[in-house]
Amino acid sequence: MSRIKTLLGPIGIAAAALFIVVVLGALFAPLIAPYDPTIGSVTERYLGFSTAHLLGTDQAGRDIFSRLLFGARSALLGPVIVVTITAVFGTGLALISVWWGGLVDSFISRLLDLLFAFPNLLLAMLAIAVFGPSLTTAALALSIAYIPYTARVIRSMALRERNLPYIRSPQLQGISGVVITVRHLVPNIAPLIVTGATINFGFAMIELAALSFLGLGVQAPDADWGLMVADGQQSLLRGYPAESMFAGLLIVITVASLGYVGERLGGRAATGRKF
Amino acid sequence: MSTPAIVVDGLTKTFSGHGRHKVTALDNISVTVERGSCLAVVGESGSGKTTLARIIVGLETADSGTVTLNGKPVAGRASRSELHRRAREIQMVFQDPQSSLNRRLRVSTAVDEVLRAHTRLDARARRDRCVELFEQVGLEPRQLDSLPGELSGGQRQRVAIARALAADPSVIVLDESVAALDVTVQGQILKLLAELRAAKNLSYVFITHDLSVVQLVADQIVVMHRGAIVERGATAEVLGNPRHAYTQLLLACAPRPGWKPQRGLIRAFREKIAS
Amino acid sequence: MLEIRDLCMTIAAERADLDILRNVSLAVAAGESVGLVGESGSGKSMTLRSILRIEPSNATVTGSITFAGTEVLSLDGEALRRMRSTDVSMIAQNPHAVLNPVLPVVNYLIEGMHDAQGMPKGAARLRAGELLEQVGIDGVDRVLGSYPHQLSGGMLQRVVIAGAIAGKPKLMLADEPTTALDVTTQAEVMAILDEFRRDLGMAMLYVTHDLDLAAAVCDRISVMKDGQIVETGVPEQLRDNPQHPYTRQLMDSRPAGIIPSVTAPSETDVNEGEPK
């Protein structure tokens, strides 16, 4: 624990705390939120800050604070789906590629090159056009787009490790590749996988919010930060910035704090690029 | 006359490196290692000595030629079951103590893994055997639970030797196993290896570039240069009365008391070799 | 030329401070070659790095290092830069770390001469060619145009040596320059280094773990262990009559054995594919 604290540094600890607050907010939204996020009353539109409505109401009279809390759920769930699928398949493909080598490696690398060619958001939009807009569709589509990035980096490190004696030695005993990969290779590339996951999380969050913003992700009347930023545009023009502003702020804070924590914990493994 | 431990006959191996010209790593190599003896394979980088070791142990496949282990020919292509079988007769100790052990696992796992692969002992019995092996290589039982990073280079090599002994092989291939160690530690490890060889009637193939190590450890020596064996014989004979220009060059370049590097002499040898 | 007195270095670590160097004192006169021999962790590399002030940033250094009369530990800025670029040269173990992998090696040589001595680029290139010939490289033009990854370790180390002596430095610091090389290449590179040192009258501080190697090229040797110098003397004295138990331990690990001295390629040689 103390080692994690020294790794994070004072800013890192604050960042981690912020992120944890957001996660708790999402988890306990039904208990904390004072109002149903989807129900609003036209008579209560654009109310300012008050004890009844901490952050006011939006153009449909819905409590912004409650919507932010519930919005945190989709804001976090989406990236979790993306990161999990990307980590599992990206790492899996990389490890298969590295262990088998030769033609298998070439084939998988070419496949990944193909995926690389698609810009992430376009791929997502394509999927949504086919399957209809929803959080899960967007998340799945994004996962497929992210897999080659993760696979490339993991493959690179796994390739280096694979030729080292501590992998060669069990191989000489005739121990199966799967066992060696899981027992020896994975623990040594795990830090890289974790760091990649935190970085991907941030990117996924922003891109999913962008999709929702465009109306291609979470659909009204569900609450979602990206959606709120979009919905709040009209209100912004009328002088009621609360909805867009707070939603946008939360996106930035969450992504930034997780990214910072990820970098500190990953140390040298972290890069600024999409992972 | 007992069966030789290893008989290598007509081994040839070429590498085609990434579209560049082919490299002949081994050119029709034939070597015999008598049971209970230690053969030093001496050469510089590019001599083929490492390739020879890897083929004997099963990490590479030769293009042509045969390898016979304790009288039984080994299969050309080393499948997993072939490696498993071969590992009971021949094991390898690698050069780099750093990468020889999985840095994330306790050192006992390295030995335990080999025991699990080759014996039917239960966990308790394996643990006892690990303790026994550790004592044989001069380590303390409590060090079983150390991480590699907590041990010195010499201690890590001792673990590597214990690992090599775990399968109870009759032959051990040592690939520059003391090159990465401090000079004072080298002596201790070489002494340990000599004791083990005598106690268990092991046969060694010792790959090295260091002639003073050869003196301390080997009965027979083969000198390799660019994939071919240029000289062979009893250590004292070859080192005391070298006949091939390359062996003479190696001796002229070996730092020892009273030695001085002489450019002219080296050039003369190189010209002789080239002709 | 170089005098180190009571050099101490501590590095701040998590739990406690580590003493890397403890009262290290040695001297190198002009034109003299001094060896610093020790095993890993003895502090020999750190000593060298302190001279050029390239020790780790979390290290505290006390004591005195005088080079040509000037106290090095209190130099900074322009004076330090001048010392590093012209008066003192360093050769390290890994030539790849010094040469820019995306530029042909000629750039490394020209850069040094042009920036440090203000030589015009054309003249610098000619001089680079001359230097490479002197370090025994054939096909100089081809080598100059090659990238680091196209050349062997021995070749690269020669290029680095050429670059290091280009400015005719007064002091050469060599940190295990041949450890990563084959034994025959090592002997050649050491011969070249020694030759140049004598011709140019450079002082040299040579760090290595190999006592015999140091004995071959050094006038005096200091043996280091655990951050301290345990014994200093001429090579013969250290070998025949070591005073300190550690020196004796080093001696004992490398017995002289049966390797004879070889003076010339013998007449009776055997060609490839020797008789079985």
Q: Provide the residue ranges of all domains of chain B, joining segments of one domain with +.
A: 1-89+171-181+202-238, 97-168, 242-275
Provide, as residue numbers in chain A, all residues whose Cβ is less than 8 Å from the Cβ of B54. none
Q: What is the pLDDT of residue C260?
A: 62
Do the beta carbons of residue C115 and residue C85 sit within 8 Å? Answer: yes
Within an 8 Å CB–CB cutoff, is residue A170 touching chain B?
A: yes
| Model confidence band, residue A63 (pLDDT cutoffs 50, 70, 90) | confident
| Interface probe, candidates C241, C269, C270, chain B, greatest B C-beta count within 10 A | C269
How many inter-chain contacts (A to B, CB under 8 Å) are there? 59
Q: pLDDT over 90 for what percent of chain C? A: 19
Q: What is the pLDDT of residue C274?
A: 43
A172, closest residue in chain B (CA to CA): B83
Whether residue C227 is predicted with pLDDT greater than 50 in this model: the reply is yes
Do the beta carbons of residue B219 and residue B234 sit within 8 Å? Answer: yes
Amino acid at A172: L
pLDDT in tens, A67-84: 899 889 888 899 999 999
Length of chain B: 275
Cis peptide before A79 (omega within 30 of 0): no
Chains that touch C (3 or more CB pairs under 8 A): B
Long-range contacts, stretch B111-116, CB < 8 angstroms, 24+ apart: B111/B159, B111/B162, B111/B163, B111/B166, B113/A170, B113/A173, B113/A175, B113/A183, B114/A170, B114/A173, B114/B87, B114/B163, B114/B166, B114/B167, B115/B166, B115/B167
| Model confidence band, residue A125 (pLDDT cutoffs 50, 70, 90) | confident
How many inter-chain contacts (B to C, CB under 8 Å) are there? 132
Whether residue A112 is predicted with pLDDT greater than 60 in this model: the reply is yes
ipTM at complex level: 0.86
CA dihedral A98, A101, A103, A106 (to 10 degrees): 40
What is the DSSP code (8-state) at residue C273? S
> What are the E-state strand segments in B34-150?
38-42, 64-69, 72-73, 90-93
| Model confidence band, residue C197 (pLDDT cutoffs 50, 70, 90) | confident
Do the beta carbons of residue C69 and residue C3 sit within 8 Å? Answer: no
Residue A128 lies in a domain: yes
| Model confidence band, residue A272 (pLDDT cutoffs 50, 70, 90) | very low
What is the DSSP code (8-state) at residue C118? -
Whether residue B257 is predicted with pLDDT greater than 70 in this model: the reply is yes
| Cross-strand bridge partners of residue C173 | C90, C205
> Which helix (H) or strand (E) covers residue C2, if one does?
strand C2-11
Do the beta carbons of residue A96 and residue A104 sit within 8 Å? Answer: yes
Tell me which architecture the domain covering B1-89+171-181+202-238 has in CATH.
Answer: 3-Layer(aba) Sandwich (3.40)
Whether residue B7 is predicted with pLDDT greater than 80 in this model: the reply is yes
Residue A33 lies in a domain: no
Provide, as residue numbers in chain B, all residues whose Cβ is less than 8 Å from the Cβ of A174. 80-85, 87, 117
Rounded CA-CA distance C128/B182 in Å is 37
Whether residue C272 is predicted with pLDDT greater than 60 in this model: the reply is no
Do the beta carbons of residue C91 and residue C177 sit within 8 Å? Answer: yes
Two structure tokens written together for C103: 């530029």
Average pLDDT, rounded, for chain A = 86
Better-predicted residue by pLDDT, B18 or C188: C188
Residue A25 lies in a domain: no
C194, closest residue in chain B (CA to CA): B261
Lowest mean pLDDT among A175-184, A224-233, B50-59, C74-83: C74-83
Two structure tokens written together for C150: 């196209």
| Cross-strand bridge partners of residue B73 | B68
Q: What is the pLDDT of residue C269?
A: 45
pLDDT in tens, A200-259: 898 898 888 888 888 888 887 788 888 888 888 888 888 888 888 999 999 999 988 888
Provide, as residue numbers in chain B, all residues whose Cβ is less than 8 Å from the Cβ of C217. 260-261
Residue of B91, B105, B117 lying closest to A174 (CB–CB): B117
Whether residue A269 is predicted with pLDDT greater than 80 in this model: the reply is no
Distance (Å) from the alpha carbon of C194 to chain B's nearest alpha carbon: 9
Q: What is the 3-state secondary structure (H, E, C) of chain A?
A: CHHHHHHHHHHHHHHHHHHHHHHHHHHCHHHHCCCCCCCCCHHHCCCCCCCCCCCCECCCCCEHHHHHHHHHHHHHHHHHHHHHHHHHHHHHHHHHHHHHCHHHHHHHHHHHHHHHCCCHHHHHHHHHHHHCCCHHHHHHHHHHHHHHHHHHHHHHHHHHHHCCHHHHHHHHCCCCHHHHHHHHHHHHHHHHHHHHHHHHHHHHHHHHHHHHHCCCCCCCCCCCHHHHHHHHHHHHHCCCCHHHHHHHHHHHHHHHHHHHHHHHHHHHHCCCCCC
Two structure tokens written together for A255: 């992504």
pLDDT in tens, B17-51: 666 778 888 999 999 999 999 999 999 988 999 99
What is the DSSP code (8-state) at residue C114? I
B100/A171 touch (CB, cutoff 8 Å), yes or no? no
C269/B262 touch (CB, cutoff 8 Å), yes or no? no
Provide, as residue numbers in chain A, all residues whose Cβ is less than 8 Å from the Cβ of B96. 165
Two structure tokens written together for B146: 């150390």
pLDDT in tens, B148-196: 999 999 999 999 999 999 999 999 999 999 988 988 899 899 999 999 9
Provide mean pLDDT across the span C197-213: 90
Rounded CA-CA distance A143/A92 in Å is 14
Q: What is the pLDDT of residue A108?
A: 94
Whether residue A263 is predicted with pLDDT greater than 80 in this model: the reply is no
Rounded CA-CA distance B13/B49 in Å is 12
Provide, as residue numbers in chain C, all residues whose Cβ is less than 8 Å from the Cβ of B187. 252-253
Report CA-CA distances (Å) from C258 to B37, B176, B240: 20, 21, 6
B58/A184 touch (CB, cutoff 8 Å), yes or no? no
Residue of B59, B96, B103 lying closest to A172 (CB–CB): B59
| Model confidence band, residue C81 (pLDDT cutoffs 50, 70, 90) | confident
CATH number of the domain enclosing A144: 1.10.3720.10
Whether residue B115 is predicted with pLDDT greater than 90 in this model: the reply is yes
Two structure tokens written together for B197: 């060889």
Chains that touch A (3 or more CB pairs under 8 A): B
Within an 8 Å CB–CB cutoff, is residue B40 touching chain C?
A: no
Whether residue C90 is predicted with pLDDT greater than 80 in this model: the reply is yes
Report CA-CA distances (Å) from C130 to B62, C125, C141, C185: 45, 9, 10, 21
Q: What is the pLDDT of residue B266?
A: 81
Provide mean pLDDT across the span A112-133: 85
> How many C-beta neighbours within 10 Å does residue C2 have?
23
Angle at C213 between CA C234 and CA B229, to 5 degrees: 150
Provide mean pLDDT across the span A134-155: 90
Whether residue C271 is predicted with pLDDT greater than 70 in this model: the reply is no
Range of the domain at A140: 61-269
Provide mean pLDDT across the span C179-207: 89
| Cross-strand bridge partners of residue C89 | C172
| Model confidence band, residue C133 (pLDDT cutoffs 50, 70, 90) | confident
Provide mean pLDDT across the span B45-66: 91
| Model confidence band, residue B254 (pLDDT cutoffs 50, 70, 90) | confident
Provide, as residue numbers in chain A, all residues whose Cβ is less than 8 Å from the Cβ of B103. 166, 188
Rounded CA-CA distance B16/C47 in Å is 45
| Interface probe, candidates A106, A166, A192, chain B, greatest B C-beta count within 10 A | A166
Rounded CA-CA distance C231/A177 in Å is 53
Within an 8 Å CB–CB cutoff, is residue A178 touching chain B?
A: no
Two structure tokens written together for A123: 């791929």
Provide mean pLDDT across the span B224-245: 91
pLDDT in tens, C27-80: 999 889 999 999 988 889 999 988 888 888 888 888 989 888 888 888 878 888
Residue A35 lies in a domain: no
Q: What is the pLDDT of residue C265?
A: 60
Count of structural domains within chain A: 1
Provide mean pLDDT across the span C103-131: 84
The helix-helix angle for A64-100 and A242-266 (nearest 10°) equals 30
- How distant is the alpha carbon of residue A184 from its chain centre? 28
| Cross-strand bridge partners of residue C60 | C10
pLDDT in tens, A246-262: 999 999 999 888 888 87
Structural class in CATH, domain C2-252? alpha beta
Better-predicted residue by pLDDT, C183 or A273: C183
Within an 8 Å CB–CB cutoff, is residue A162 touching chain B?
A: no
Domain positions in chain C are 2-252
Report CA-CA distances (Å) from C248 to A193, C4, C36: 50, 25, 16
A176, closest residue in chain B (CA to CA): B80
Do the beta carbons of residue C87 and residue C168 sit within 8 Å? Answer: no
Distance (Å) from the alpha carbon of A250 to chain B's nearest alpha carbon: 38
A162, closest residue in chain B (CA to CA): B99
Give the 3-state secondary structure of residue C50: helix
Residue A149 lies in a domain: yes
Whether residue C256 is predicted with pLDDT greater than 70 in this model: the reply is no
The helix-helix angle for B245-252 and B263-274 (nearest 10°) equals 160
| Model confidence band, residue C119 (pLDDT cutoffs 50, 70, 90) | confident
Distance (Å) from the alpha carbon of B243 to chain C's nearest alpha carbon: 5
Rounded CA-CA distance A257/A13 in Å is 9
What is the DSSP code (8-state) at residue B207? E
Residue numbers of B between 169 and 228 with CB closer than 8 Å to C = 182-184, 186-187, 209-212, 215-216, 228
Strand order in the sheet with C70-71: C18-28, C2-11, C59-67, C70-71
β-strands B38-42, B203-208 pairing: parallel
B210/C184 touch (CB, cutoff 8 Å), yes or no? no
Rounded CA-CA distance A107/A186 in Å is 22
Within an 8 Å CB–CB cutoff, is residue A169 touching chain B?
A: yes
Within an 8 Å CB–CB cutoff, is residue B255 touching chain C?
A: yes
Within an 8 Å CB–CB cutoff, is residue A102 touching chain B?
A: no
Average pLDDT, rounded, for chain C = 85
Report CA-CA distances (Å) from C98 to B56, B221, B223, C43, C106: 38, 38, 34, 22, 13
Which position has the token pair 């002494």? B191
Within an 8 Å CB–CB cutoff, is residue A172 touching chain B?
A: yes
Provide, as residue numbers in chain A, all residues whose Cβ is less than 8 Å from the Cβ of B16. none
B212/C254 touch (CB, cutoff 8 Å), yes or no? yes
Within an 8 Å CB–CB cutoff, is residue A1 touching chain B?
A: no
Rounded CA-CA distance B132/B145 in Å is 14
Whether residue C15 is predicted with pLDDT greater than 50 in this model: the reply is yes
| Model confidence band, residue A275 (pLDDT cutoffs 50, 70, 90) | very low
Lowest mean pLDDT among A102-106, C135-139, C215-219: C135-139
Distance (Å) from the alpha carbon of B31 to chain C's nearest alpha carbon: 10
Distance (Å) from the alpha carbon of B100 to chain A's nearest alpha carbon: 5
Rounded CA-CA distance A62/A41 in Å is 7
Two structure tokens written together for B149: 């990073």
Q: What is the pLDDT of residue A218?
A: 81
Provide mean pLDDT across the span C222-236: 92
